[in-house]
């Protein structure tokens, strides 16, 4: 039952992240190959790194090539339909929120099934949720979403921490997985809706590194 729940959320995340990667390609007016590349690396990048770090060999999309085929097909579909949303960037943000919550929850659950401890499981959830988006933004020439003043990584942390700590408390793993996804999506969605962000560092007067070495 747990593996089924993980698979459902995992497939959901793969499809959604493939769409976000393809939407970035549409913003950059790439060709069909660019769409397939960005959609694929976004969807499977985080899970690939997670499996490599956990020593799961071969990685998930090598065991099940349907993941790879789906990424290419979804990216191709977006190539012909990306003009439909009125605001592709807003759609990208909300779809990314769904993928982030999904991959954070499944990444943590997969790590726990592989025998990882709580801290390692949280780290694997964060990697699964964010690494594909980093690749997408870097290859697409965008400012990485992970470095913006938004509640992004912290939303993924809340999602995977919910999975790990509810599991440690003896809750059903299926319940913890769905709860982690729901909490992560709620936090990220609320941050998008109300424009929440984390506090920014403000140096004291005379201590700004940018000001050092300048002549008065």
Assess if residue 203 is contained within a domain: no
Assess if residue 70 is contained within a domain: yes
Assess if residue 214 is contained within a domain: no
Q: Convert the pLDDT of each residue in 175-190 to its tens digit.
A: 999 999 999 999 999 9
Q: Convert the pLDDT of each residue in 52-68 to its tens digit.
A: 999 999 999 999 999 99
Mean of the per-residue pLDDT values for the chain? 91
Assess if residue 207 is contained within a domain: no
Give the pLDDT band (50/70/90) at residue 216: very low
Assess if residue 154 is contained within a domain: yes
Close Cβ partners of 32 (under 8 Å, ≥ 6 residues apart):
76, 79
Assess if residue 185 is contained within a domain: yes
- Looking at the predicted structure, is the pLDDT value of residue 214 above 70? no
24 half-sphere exposure, CB direction, 13 A CA radius = 31
Assess if residue 50 is contained within a domain: yes
- Looking at the predicted structure, is the pLDDT value of residue 203 above 70? yes
- Looking at the predicted structure, is the pLDDT value of residue 209 above 70? no
pLDDT more than 90, % of the chain? 75
Exposed/middle/buried for residue 198 (C-beta within 10 Å: 0-12, 13-18, 19+): exposed
- Looking at the predicted structure, is the pLDDT value of residue 124 above 50? yes
Distance CA 109, CA 127 (A): 13
- Looking at the predicted structure, is the pLDDT value of residue 207 above 70? no
Which pLDDT belongs to residue 85? 72
Assess if residue 80 is contained within a domain: yes
Q: Please state the rounded mean pLDDT for residues 103-121.
A: 95
Which pLDDT belongs to residue 177? 94
C-alpha distances (whole Å) from 187 to each of 97, 157, 161, 167, 205 are 9, 10, 13, 20, 34
Q: Please state the rounded mean pLDDT for residues 181-201.
A: 92
Q: How many domains is the chain built from?
A: 1
Domain that holds residue 80: 2-198
């Amino acid at each position: 039952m747990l593996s089924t729940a993980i698979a459902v959320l995992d497939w959901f995340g793969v499809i959604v992240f493939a769409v976000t990667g393809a939407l970035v390609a549409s913003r950059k007016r790439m060709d069909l190959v660019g769409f397939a590349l960005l959609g694929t690396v976004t969807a499977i990048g985080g899970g690939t790194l997670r499996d490599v770090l956990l020593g799961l060999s071969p990685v998930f999309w090598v065991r099940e090539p349907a993941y790879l085929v789906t990424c290419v097909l979804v990216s191709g579909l977006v190539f012909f339909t990306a003009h439909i949303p009125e605001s592709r960037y807003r759609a990208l943000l909300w779809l990314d929120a769904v993928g982030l919550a999904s991959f954070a929850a499944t990444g943590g659950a997969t790590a726990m099934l592989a025998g990882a401890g709580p801290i390692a499981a949280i780290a694997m959830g964060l990697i699964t949720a964010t690494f594909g988006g980093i690749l997408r933004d870097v290859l697409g020439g965008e400012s990485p979403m992970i470095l913006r003043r938004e509640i992004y990584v912290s939303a993924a942390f809340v999602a995977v921490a919910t999975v790990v700590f509810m599991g440690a408390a003896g809750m059903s793993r299926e319940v913890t997985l769905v709860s982690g996804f729901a909490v992560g999506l709620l936090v990220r969605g609320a941050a998008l809706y109300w424009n929440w962000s984390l506090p920014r560092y403000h140096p004291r007067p005379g201590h700004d590194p940018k000001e050092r070495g300048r002549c008065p």
